[in-house]
Structure 1
Amino acid sequence: MWWGFRANTVEKIGHNRYRVWPNDMPADLYKVRPHHSLNRNLDHNWQQALTKTSSERRVAVDIMLGGWQEQLILTLTSEEGISITHTLDGMFEEANNPEKALNNLKDGLAKLGQTIYYACEVQVTLPAALFVPNSLLNQFRREAIDMLDTARLARYQRGRRKPVAQPAPVYPQTHLSFLANVYNHKAREFYHRYGVQLIDAAYEAHQEKGDVPVMITRHCLRFAFNLCPKQAKGNIKSWKATPMQLVHGDEVLTLKFDCRPCEMHVIGKIKNYILKMPQPGSVVASVSPEALMKTLPKRRGV
């Protein structure tokens, strides 16, 4: 029986020895005997790292605010080198608290919110710290961001598709087994286009009813049991990689070994109940049991 608890404090008292204080004393703690191994499977710092955003893709923007009391000039430059300039006319007085006003200007310009940009560098080159109402500054910034969007879209160059090779390349094989997983007509047309002549249906098509490889893996049980002919020495070096059997309950799977590519093939046979099921992607398979029940005729008197 496995059980666990949250630790409140952990103190290291020696090599691989710790003293642990649980948050709540487990009811089954008396079952633990001396030298019983404890495994840590919850790392708070690791969980916090996973919950943090790590895949955001945003564009860096340099912001520079200049001008004078009668006009503000805002310049945005994206990391691609695309730059726009926006102006705001008005009468802006010098602030009573220059340091606070300057910080408010920088903070207000750097608030790019849910846009695709983030402020890389913010510069204010005004001759004096001016007081700009937050409402005007926010509107000024939003209009400049819209202008930058328009400028970047105008400069965007869509990638071009490479021309089709002439003559078309030839697929290295002319016969594909079910392992190629060719299930629909689009995939079949693709391989025919490049020279494949004979294509077996995918395993999901229920046409492979005999013993076939249901899994090919580099994990080899012969190697795990020190019975690999490549690793063998002495008298057992002449051993051949004869098939083995993997038994799980009533299930018996044959293991065949292809030593040249170092692969183990698990051989099995499709179950009869799977053959009776509709094929994946078919119209029958896409109908839910509830929808199918609605199509049945209703009984009289119900």
Structure 2
Amino acid sequence: MSNGLRKIELLAPAKNLECGIAAIYHGADAVYIGAAQFGARQTAGNSTDDIAELTRYAHQFGAAVYVTVNTIVYEKELAALEHLLKQLVEMGVDAILVQDMAVLEIYKKLKAEYMTRGYRMPALHASTQTDNRSADKVKWLKENGFERVVLARELSLEEITDIHKAHPDVELEAFVHGALCVSYSGACYASQYFFNRSANRGECAQFCRMAFDLKDSDGETLIEDSYLLSLKDMCQLDRLGDLLEAGVCSLKIEGRLKDANYVKNVVATYSEALNAYIAKHTGKYCRSSYGRCTYTFTPALEKTFNRGFTHYFFNGRQKDISSFNTPKAMGEYVGYVKEIRRGSFNVAGTAMFANGDGLCFFNRQKKLEGFRVNRVENNRLFPLTMPKNLEPGMALYRNNDIEFERAMQGKTATRKLQVRFVVDVVNGKLTFTATDECGRSANVVLKETPEKAQKSQHDNIVKQLEKLGNTVWTANEISINNSADEFFIPSSRLAAVRRELLEALEDTPVSNHTDKQAVGETATNSINANNTVYADTINIANVANTTAQNYYAAHGVKNAPTAFELNSDYKAGSTTAPSAVPPLMTCRYCLRYALGYCVKNGGKRPTWHEPLHLEAKNGIRVRLAFNCAKCQMEVYAE
């Protein structure tokens, strides 16, 4: 809380240092970034030097940096894990995202060492990879030292509200935007089974974005060559207020594989929406970091990579959450083809086009085709190569807006902290004070006694103090008291005073960092070694080292299953019977429901014979099981 206001955080992804800085500059209150190892996006690793630089940059705005150490860890990697955790503590990151409980155990050991040396320990956040979908799971995580829990993407508003009511002292982080995994996070082993690439090790091969035929037990093809497990992208832009009212404190944007332009546009869009909501609810919320952003472009989500948008399960189970026809980005709808004439066509719609635009459409076979615009004459477009399957009446989508991409190049935003200067005469000495919106203050007292000026120096004092140039500050007020402007102060001296004040502000830590972490520093003291938890609230088959195994055993989880990745029989082509392999995916998404055949929810009674199977052109075949008691779909090896 800050002055009675609840702090709200917009959390952005950082593929690298460039993306992290772009996120902060465009309005993020925090960023999450992966180190060179142990992050759930293996191709988005970063050096500790870059993470340290990002941390320094973020902290000047009171923004936070969270590092993803959220893969499962093998026994031989524990020493490297400990080394990384030491580095993260020493560079002052704000939190560590965790899946493997070996991280927690090593953290506890390091805490005893580093706090005696005066270090501020980062908070512990339970990654969505720990599969956090119940109040019982949140309770177990809280009792084991986690300050924040990243909720499963599949939860509804009602479920989030109930979790917060049950555990109001736990920070809740919820995804609001980006790609959706069809399986519960941490419970997907399809990539490991078929491609020897572990999703729990940051190597997901995107099995769910493959095309499949849907067949019944008689071998009849019900649907052919469709992306039956591919979901649209989440977008909760219009539900931010509901999330805040439900108790969520951190609004998370997905996308650690996305480029800087994606980060800029999405962060700016959500930051403006969040500011607008807070402004309408004065006295209730505030942003968790400082600074005001201005943009050189108009944020627009439809201009950035998306597969179409969905609220997912936020409003309960919905049918239109999947994207059967393509796993790729369609972009924004721009009109339909009106008339085709040899190598050109015109478009019915209000969109403006530019040479180089990328357009796409669904052909008669419902396959996505794309092409590039070579020339534009009003609403008549001349493609580089005329698509042979394009026909009048077909809808057009723009997945590459060349003008928008040009607008996104270079510096597209500024973020400034407001600072107030006071010039005064105290005990006969000229005194300069600077106080910024973060609450930091600096003071300079002139040792020399300046001479009286022939005319007021007010305008020159204001002029010199306002020269803040490329710094992170902008002067919102300059007060000159007790006739301080009657004294002559050379412009060069005023400039030196200004630099001294700003350097002192820069060297002063932003207080909300220390305040926020005070909770994290004491959280693990409340660990109850005798607490118990039902085994089904813990990820199945994700224990990859003896440290984690022993931790679970000591904290109420007996015989936690060994990681799927460590069982050599759990792979395609092994002699192990598929029936002995655990579910490759556990999904709240249900294909039977999506097709309108869930009798439990008012759908038609299926005419096919189950079990249903998915078959890919490369020979991969899986069996679908509909667990109606839990209202979920499970995918099994076949």
TM-score, normalization by structure 1: 0.61
Over residues 175-218 of structure 1, what are the superposed CA-to-partner deviations in whole Å (9 max), with x where a residue is unaligned? 89872511122321221111222122111112553432111112
* Pairs within 5 Å for 1:171-182: 171-173=532-534, 179-182=540-543
More helix by share: 2
Over residues 92-121 of structure 1, what are the superposed CA-to-partner deviations in whole Å (9 max), with x where a residue is unaligned? 66487967524422313x45725xx55443
Q: CA deviation at 1:22?
A: 4.4
Matched residue, 1:231? 601
Matched residue, 1:61? 419
| Structure 1, gaps ≥5 residues long | 1-9, 270-302
User: Is the aligned partner of 1:17 residue 2:376?
Assistant: no
Over residues 245-300 of structure 1, what are the superposed CA-to-partner deviations in whole Å (9 max), with x where a residue is unaligned? 1111211101111112221111127xxxxxxxxxxxxxxxxxxxxxxxxxxxxxxx
User: Is the aligned partner of 1:106 residue 2:465?
Assistant: yes
Distance 2:354 2:438 in 1: 54
Q: Which amino acid aligns with 1:203?
A: F
Distance 2:538 2:436 in 1: 52
CA distance change for structure 1 residues 241 and 84 in 2, over 3 Å: closer, same or farther?
A: farther
Over residues 66-117 of structure 1, what are the superposed CA-to-partner deviations in whole Å (9 max), with x where a residue is unaligned? 349x953101234465544311225366487967524422313x45725xx5
Matched residue, 1:140? 497
Matched residue, 1:218? 588
3-state DSSP of counterpart to 2:599: coil
User: Is the aligned partner of 1:123 residue 2:479?
Assistant: yes
CA distance change for structure 1 residues 52 and 40 in 2, over 3 Å: closer, same or farther?
A: same
* 8 Å CA contact retained: 1:215, 1:266: yes
Q: Which amino acid aligns with 1:105?
A: Q
Whose radius of gyration is greater, 1 or 2? 1
* 8 Å CA contact retained: 2:438, 2:511: no
Percent identical: 22
* Pairs within 5 Å for 1:68-79: 72-79=430-437
CA distance change for structure 1 residues 127 and 200 in 2, over 3 Å: closer, same or farther?
A: closer
Matched residue, 2:562? 201
* Pairs within 5 Å for 1:143-162: 143-148=500-505, 159=518, 160-162=521-523
3-state DSSP of counterpart to 1:198: coil
Over residues 8-61 of structure 1, what are the superposed CA-to-partner deviations in whole Å (9 max), with x where a residue is unaligned? xx9xxxx9634856435234359665444332223445885797458x6x7653
TM-score, normalization by structure 2: 0.32
| Structure 2, gaps ≥5 residues long | 1-334, 336-346, 356-373, 376-382, 571-579
Distance 2:450 2:464 in 1: 16
CA distance change for structure 1 residues 192 and 118 in 2, over 3 Å: closer, same or farther?
A: farther
CA distance change for structure 1 residues 231 and 188 in 2, over 3 Å: closer, same or farther?
A: same
CA distance change for structure 1 residues 193 and 240 in 2, over 3 Å: closer, same or farther?
A: farther
Distance 1:21 1:162 in 2: 55
Larger relative contact order (CA 8 Å, sep ≥ 6): 2
Distance 1:178 1:72 in 2: 65
Distance 1:104 1:196 in 2: 66
How many positions carry a matched residue from both structures?
A: 248
Distance 1:100 1:206 in 2: 76
3-state DSSP of counterpart to 2:525: coil
Matched residue, 1:281? none
Distance 2:477 2:437 in 1: 11
Matched residue, 1:283? none
User: Is the aligned partner of 1:248 residue 2:607?
Assistant: no
Aligned Cα root-mean-square deviation (Å):
4.5
3-state DSSP of counterpart to 1:213: coil
Matched residue, 1:5? none
Q: CA deviation at 1:62?
A: 2.2
* Pairs within 5 Å for 1:262-277: 262-268=631-637
Matched residue, 1:300? none
CA distance change for structure 1 residues 142 and 257 in 2, over 3 Å: closer, same or farther?
A: same
Distance 2:451 2:432 in 1: 15
